Amino acid sequence: MKRLGLLFCTVTFAAIIANGEQITLKNGDKITGTVVKSDGKTVVVKTDYAGELTINWAAVQDMSSDKKLFVETPDKKLVSGTVATKDADLVVTTASGAVDVPKASVSLIRSEDEQAAYEASLHPSLTRNWAGGLNLGFALARGNSATKNINLAFNAARPTNHDKITLYANSIYATNDLAGANPSTIANTILGGIRYDRNIAARLFAYGSGDFITDDLQHLDIRAILGGGLGFHAIKSANTTLDFLGGANYTRENYAAYVDTTATPHPAQQTNFVGASVGDDFSHKLGAASLFTQRFNYTPNLNNGGGYRTALDLGFTTKLNTWLGWQMGFSDRYTSKPFGANKNNDVLLTTGLALTFKH
């Protein structure tokens, strides 16, 4: 009976080894697990006993797998099948026959799951690949003072291999609720925007954007800025991106009539003009949990008497866990020729806990 049990265990163990994937290193060590991927410099193996291991590809002597792997040949063709090592080659047994790939020239290996994820990343649905955060703050004071303040900051981005969608919004609303306070609304500003980038070459892309703002204290019902142009990826790495942008835009503004503090009336005004646009877009990861972003845009007015506008947005987020973080948003909108008695610029600062998401 003991011999039968020993035989059963031996056969079972042999079956496990036979159905696994094994890598033999040049120093003689053997690693059994599942090959996840390789970029020709390292190979990632998922093991039951140590999780994922990253091994230098140059240290690999032999590799065998009875599960399908996707291997790129020197002429950039992708073949799939079981893999074994023969001399200095990887032999990929495909449905149509064996293909020899020199081990020294292997630049890509993927498991079936990795290949499926890669193919999905090429053409993801519009609801996938989103990441961002939402910050909502509220403050209330009663007693000797009577104020309330609500602020909101939102940002989201959806990058793919071919394009990128960026959304943002920032708003603040504050009131002085004391009897007789004038004005009773001391801040009421909402701004937001969207930008779409489409890659043309490795570092060149085209973009289209829309920015919108309404400001009660500036008597600005709506300012809509629609633009587009070309961008250049000056820096594009895993941790840092820096884009320079240049193009043109069309601006439409609607101001409401009002009477200022000197009893001077200002009639309603609508302006439409074409402007140039230059700016930059910067982001940098600070460690694994924090991200700093910066956007700046300079827009000179090409008609209606000249003038210019600038828009600056800064953001900082840091993750506290997988869904909760801390976020700060800063926005400055400047115009060289304000409407009526308005001031030149408006500044918004929002901060607080944020809900982060990734899909």
Reading the block at residue 248, the tokens are 């043109």
Give residue 296's pLDDT: 96
Q: pLDDT (tens digit, 9 = 90+) per residue, 302-350?
A: 876 678 989 999 988 888 888 888 888 888 989 888 887 788 888 888 8
Residue 219 lies in a domain: yes
The pLDDT assigned to 9 comes to: 44
CA 198 to chain centre: 14
Is residue 15 assigned to a domain? no
Instruction: Provide the pLDDT for residue 15.
Output: 40
Do residues 101 and 243 both lie within one domain?
Answer: no
pLDDT in the model for residue 16: 39
Does residue 10 surpass a pLDDT of 50? no
Residues 203 and 271 in one domain: yes
Q: How far apart are CA 306 and CA 299, in angstroms?
A: 10
Could you tell me if residue 217 is inside a domain? yes
DSSP notation for 66-105: EEEEEEE-TTS-EEEEEEEEETTEEEEEETTEEEEEEGGG
Task: Among 99, 122, 145, identify where a domain stops.
Answer: 122
Q: Which residue has the higher pLDDT, 270 or 4?
A: 270
Q: What is the model's pLDDT at position 282?
A: 95
- For residue 199, pLDDT over 50 is answered with yes
Q: Based on the domain organization, do 117 and 59 belong to the same domain?
A: yes
> In this predicted structure, what is the pLDDT of residue 252?
93
Nearest to 115 by CA among 36, 33, 19, 32: 36
| Residues 314-341 as b or e (16 or more Cβ within 10 Å = b) | bbbbbbeeeeebbbbbbbebbbeebbbe
Looking at the structure, do residues 342 and 211 belong to the same domain, yes or no?
Answer: yes
Residue 337: what residue type?
A: K
Examine residue 8 and state whether it is found in any structural domain, yes or no.
Answer: no
The domain total for the chain is 2
**Residue of 306, 312, 253, 305 lying closest to 276 (CA atoms):** 306
Which of 98, 122, 146 is at the close of a domain? 122
pLDDT recorded at residue 304: 65
Using a cut of 0.85, tell me whether the model's pTM lies above it. Answer: no
pLDDT at 307: 86
Residue among 344, 348, 283, 336 at smallest CA distance from 312: 348
- Domain assignment of residue 109, given as a range: 20-122
Which residue did the predictor score with more confidence, 57 or 12? 57
C-alpha span between 118 and 151 (Å, rounded): 39
Which stretch of 9-18, 121-130, 175-184 has the lowest confidence by average pLDDT?
9-18
Residue 238 forms part of a structural domain: yes
Q: Are residues 81 and 138 in the same domain?
A: no
Residues 148 and 271 in one domain: yes
Residue 305: half-sphere exposure toward Cβ, Cα within 13 Å: 4
The pLDDT value recorded for residue 312 is 94
Instruction: Tell me whether residue 88 is in a domain.
Output: yes
Residue 358 pLDDT exceeds 80 = no
Return the amino acid letter for 110. R
pLDDT for 119 equals 82
Whether residue 10 is contained in a domain is answered as no
- Among 104, 122, 140, the domain-final residue is 122
- Residue 283 counted as domain residue: yes
pLDDT at 297: 93
Mean pLDDT value of segment 230-240: 92
The pLDDT assigned to 20 comes to: 57
Over pLDDT 90: what percentage of the chain? 37
Greater pLDDT, 159 or 2: 159
Which of 100-104, 137-141, 238-242 bottoms out in mean pLDDT, i.e. has the lowest? 137-141
